Amino acid sequence: MEHVVFHSGPDGNPAFRRFGSLEEAVRFVEHLRNVEGVEDATVHVLTPVPLAFRAYYKVEVPSVEALSVPAQPVDSVAAAMEPVAEMAPVDVAPEPEPAVAANGKKTLGFFAG
């Protein structure tokens, strides 16, 4: 398991170093204290954190300028308002008569209750 040592660097800024084992990290802390005079070293365990990824969709609305509709010429507007020729009548099939049950009442079929 990996370990990391956090300490102050030579210029006073925070620094860190990673190690493959706890023993290596402890030896480095001893070196920092005995050779370099660093007293603020800390050792931490690095363990992996499981991650899960999900799809994320973002909806964006276009600007008002993009939504504006270009003006139509007056001729095309007038043509669009002209009445359409009448349509021919369509033959419609008559609705079937409701079924008559054995008791003489009209029913709507098998599933009607």
Closest listed residue to residue 41, CA positions, set 71, 17, 65, 70: 17
Cα–chain center distance at 74: 45
Q: Specify the pTM.
A: 0.46
> What are the pLDDT digits (tens) for 18-72?
999 999 999 999 999 999 999 999 999 999 889 999 999 999 998 877 666 665 5
Mean per-residue pLDDT of the chain:
80
- Which residue blocks in the chain are alpha helix, DSSP H? 22-31, 64-67, 74-81
